[in-house]
Chains A and B, each alone.
Chain A
Amino acid sequence: MTEKRNFIGQIIAYLFFAGFLGVLSNYPTYSHTTADQATIKLTMNHSGKLKEKCRQRSEEEMAKLPPNMRVSMDCPRERSPIKLEMIVDGKEIYKETLLPFGLTRDGEATAYRRFNIKAGEHRVQVRMKDDVNTEGYDYHFEQTLTLAPSQVMVIHFDNLLGKFVAI
């Protein structure tokens, strides 16, 4: 059975389809950030201090353990959660307690945060606490940063240096 076809109609349909693809594949342009903004990325991978210190097991505790596991020292593996905060121009813009990775919470705590701020000069402070057994913050970063429009500034905790560095 021969079907009736209207080839003008087909051409219009194909052109519409192609136009639809061509337009939505490219437009409208999206503004992710404005040109007068800069970006600060705060990042760290760090193991907190051990939450509890090693201790000597008592005779009773040793007796309860299977013979192959009778180790006199009990050293819990769990590490301290890490408190991290960032203050820009005296205003706190980020504060979080980061848990160590892993089922037994014995891995690194990690952080990655991206902040868009107006380009220009800013006083930036970062504080980190990695030990639940001490008071106050263990690491401090404070610097006046001059950020150009669209500049990406990375503030990273360098584990070898043991401090935050701005890159």
Chain B
Amino acid sequence: MIIRSTQKLGMKLFEVVESRFSTAFGESWNPFYNLGALSFFFFWIVAASGVYLYAFFDTSITSAYTSVESITNNHFYIGGIIRGLHRYASDAMVVTMTIHLFREFLMGRFRGARWFSWLTGVPLLWLVFASGINGYWLVWDQLAQYIAILTAEWFDWLPFFSAPMAQNFLNEASLSDRFFSLLAFLHIGIPLTLLLMMWVHIQRMAKAKSNPPRGLALGTLAALIILSIAKPAVSQAPANLDRAVTDVQLDWFFLNLYPLLDTVSPGDLWGLVGFITLLIAVVPWILPKGKYSIATVNLENCNGCERCFIDCPYDAVTMQPRTDGMSFSHEAVVRTNLCVGCGICVGACPTATPFRRQTQLVAGIELAEFPLKNLRNEVLQASETLSGTDRVMAFACSECGKDKLARQPGVAVVPLPCIAMLPPSFIDFVISKRLADGVFLTGCETANCYHRYGSQWTEERIEGKRDPQLRKRVPRERVARLWTSAVNGGRVQQEIKQFRSRLRDVGPMRDDYASMKQSLSFVSSETGGNIHDTD
């Protein structure tokens, strides 16, 4: 309960800040909606600048410092800027990665099949910090000396080493080139492992965004270049193991835990970071999972059209050769361990139409515990609460939209796991059967959809750019949609008010309610004579 409240409060704070950023950047460029992609982008900046630095870096202990100084000061401006980019892009990656972690936690994007992305993100934390900290050693200045000694002392607490690693840094005479070469090798090996794990991290995300929008990328790169010029990354005094380090300029993004080693024992620090790591790792299993229904394929209604396969944001639907002898070449198969129950596949299915007369309403793919028949019944029930000439049937995403629509007369709300679960034929159904005067759709901002592509797919289906499309006969003035975050409840109310006003201007529907009832007789007979029956 406390965690849920914290998540809600935290998310509201995020949404307040994010809405400001959406005003400045637009939704698609909003940095908060591109945190993962920005982290990838920063990695590539670090990698590219690292290649340049490594080409001129001398891995010997006696020349490391002077070679870095030479790169910084003797390569015209380019060496210093590239060094600055290498450092500040690393820092930026820590920032975006940390915000990404908090945001995904607050949004509950670790539940169900999303555990994989969550869990594979945990080693990324270690690998990013290991890469950065290891990099600071190579400069071999006072900061490197400080880090080298404290890191070695910290690791020596572990019972793996036959001799203390810190003995490599006793004094100037004890340091060897071999050990330093090992550090340089690690500074390539760890980031390569990081890249591999970043690839694994996004494996269960269909159409994962690993590149930020070009405008955002260019703006961020420009900011880093300006920072590298305004505040160049420079070395501190050369390391001298015969002298103790007193004051150091720490990079607090990477080295924030190091001062703790002056007050707590290495064992305690291992306990702290181990506990935090474990706590993050087990989040998907210790927090309430939430209820969701897995998609199931009804083979007799599946024609193998692949729309569910194309639209699923989690790669939970695959296609395989037909197994039931029907004339279609393929059939859809749900990988239940990947399904999060968003229902986007249902919205994509061409057989998911509420107009069925001859057969029972069973679509080719459905959510097991929220079949399409139930959705149609909910729509019918909701319509009965409406009256007047500006009746609105609102379909809302449960994750972000349900709370935005405060109950008000003349508006019926039908919540969905994701707005893209709604087949466009339902909009046609509501209007052509006179169940409401207008249909209002609301879901997350398109660049920040809880189920990744729900708002975008819905928008494209209504615009006729994606199958299944909303039929042309549906009067567009009777359909409104709004993609916005939960924090913008006031804006939703405003939009609904304007929409109802527009509906009143458009005028009443031509048919009366009685004829609508008559036209719904097929529904009534299918549900055993009672349209309220939800099976």
**What residues make up the interface of A, taking CB atoms closer than 8 Å to B?**
3-10, 12-15, 17-22, 24-27, 29-35, 37-39, 41, 43, 45, 101, 107-108, 110-112, 114, 116, 150-152, 154, 156, 167
Which of A8, A32, A107 contacts B162 (CB under 8 A)?
A: A107
Binds A, one of B17-25, B185-193, B195-203, B371-379: B17-25
Interface status of B95 (Cβ within 8 A of chain A): yes
The residues of B that contact A10 with a CB separation of less than 8 Å are 24-25, 219
Can you show 6 pairs from A to B with CB atoms below 8 A apart? A3-B27, A21-B88, A21-B253, A31-B247, A107-B162, A150-B246
Taking a contact as CB atoms under 8 Å apart, the answer to whether A150 and B244 are in contact is: yes
The residues of B that contact A151 with a CB separation of less than 8 Å are 242-244
The residues of B that contact A27 with a CB separation of less than 8 Å are 249
Taking a contact as CB atoms under 8 Å apart, the answer to whether B88 and A22 are in contact is: yes
Taking a contact as CB atoms under 8 Å apart, the answer to whether B243 and A13 are in contact is: no
Q: How far is it, in angstroms, between the C-alpha of A108 and the C-alpha of B220 when the chains are bound? A: 53
Taking a contact as CB atoms under 8 Å apart, the answer to whether B24 and A114 are in contact is: no
**What residues make up the interface of B, taking CB atoms closer than 8 Å to A?**
20-21, 23-29, 31, 87-88, 91-92, 95, 146, 149, 153, 156, 162-164, 166-167, 170-171, 173, 219-220, 222-224, 226-227, 230-231, 233, 241-253, 258-259, 262
The residues of A that contact B224 with a CB separation of less than 8 Å are 18, 21
Closest to A41 in B: B170
Closest to B216 in A: A10
The residues of B that contact A110 with a CB separation of less than 8 Å are 162-164, 167
Q: How far is it, in angstroms, between the C-alpha of A31 and the C-alpha of B245 when the chains are bound? A: 9
Taking a contact as CB atoms under 8 Å apart, the answer to whether A38 and B92 are in contact is: no
Instruction: Count chain B CB atoms within 10 A of each CB in A14, A21, A29 and give the residue with the most.
Output: A21
Q: How far is it, in angstroms, between the C-alpha of A116 and the C-alpha of B233 when the chains are bound? A: 30
The residues of B that contact A38 with a CB separation of less than 8 Å are 244
Taking a contact as CB atoms under 8 Å apart, the answer to whether A30 and B167 are in contact is: no
The residues of B that contact A167 with a CB separation of less than 8 Å are 170-171, 173
Q: How far is it, in angstroms, between the C-alpha of A167 and the C-alpha of B241 when the chains are bound? A: 12
Taking a contact as CB atoms under 8 Å apart, the answer to whether A32 and B248 are in contact is: yes
Taking a contact as CB atoms under 8 Å apart, the answer to whether B153 and A25 are in contact is: no
Taking a contact as CB atoms under 8 Å apart, the answer to whether A112 and B166 are in contact is: yes
Q: How far is it, in angstroms, between the C-alpha of A116 and the C-alpha of B262 when the chains are bound? A: 11
Closest to A22 in B: B231
The residues of A that contact B219 with a CB separation of less than 8 Å are 10, 14
The residues of A that contact B262 with a CB separation of less than 8 Å are 32
Closest to A39 in B: B244
Taking a contact as CB atoms under 8 Å apart, the answer to whether A152 and B171 are in contact is: yes
Taking a contact as CB atoms under 8 Å apart, the answer to whether B170 and A43 are in contact is: yes
The residues of A that contact B244 with a CB separation of less than 8 Å are 32-33, 37-39, 116, 150-152
8 more A-B residue pairs beyond the given contacts A24-B253, A32-B146, A150-B243, with a C-beta to C-beta distance below 8 A? A3-B28, A10-B219, A19-B227, A29-B248, A31-B247, A45-B167, A108-B163, A110-B162
Closest to B170 in A: A154
Closest to B174 in A: A154
Taking a contact as CB atoms under 8 Å apart, the answer to whether B246 and A33 are in contact is: yes
Please judge, given known A-B contacts A14-B223, A32-B247, whether A4 and B26 are in contact too, CB under 8 Å: yes
Q: How far is it, in angstroms, between the C-alpha of A38 and the C-alpha of B249 when the chains are bound? A: 20
The residues of B that contact A39 with a CB separation of less than 8 Å are 244
Taking a contact as CB atoms under 8 Å apart, the answer to whether A15 and B251 are in contact is: no
Which of B149, B220, B226, B247 contacts A29 (CB under 8 A)?
A: B247
Tell me the smallest distance from the CB of A122 to a CB of chain B, in Å. 15
Closest to A13 in B: B24
The residues of A that contact B242 with a CB separation of less than 8 Å are 151-152
Taking a contact as CB atoms under 8 Å apart, the answer to whether B24 and A154 are in contact is: no
Please judge, given known A-B contacts A112-B156, A116-B244, whether A25 and B251 are in contact too, CB under 8 Å: yes
The residues of B that contact A15 with a CB separation of less than 8 Å are 223
Taking a contact as CB atoms under 8 Å apart, the answer to whether B249 and A112 are in contact is: no
Q: Give 8 closest A-B pairs by Cβ, nearest first.
A: A9-B24, A3-B26, A112-B164, A14-B223, A18-B227, A22-B231, A39-B244, A18-B223
The residues of B that contact A29 with a CB separation of less than 8 Å are 247-250
Instruction: Count chain A CB atoms within 10 A of each CB in B24, B26, B27 and give the residue with the most.
Output: B24
Taking a contact as CB atoms under 8 Å apart, the answer to whether A5 and B24 are in contact is: yes
Tell me the smallest distance from the CB of A48 to a CB of chain B, in Å. 15
Tell me the smallest distance from the CB of B29 to a CB of chain A, in Å. 7
Taking a contact as CB atoms under 8 Å apart, the answer to whether A30 and B243 are in contact is: no
Taking a contact as CB atoms under 8 Å apart, the answer to whether B226 and A18 are in contact is: yes
Tell me the smallest distance from the CB of A30 to a CB of chain B, in Å. 5
Taking a contact as CB atoms under 8 Å apart, the answer to whether B248 and A152 are in contact is: no
Q: How far is it, in angstroms, between the C-alpha of A18 and the C-alpha of B92 when the chains are bound? A: 9
Closest to B153 in A: A114
Closest to A5 in B: B26
Q: How far is it, in angstroms, between the C-alpha of A108 and the C-alpha of B167 when the chains are bound? A: 14
Closest to B243 in A: A150
Taking a contact as CB atoms under 8 Å apart, the answer to whether A26 and B247 are in contact is: no
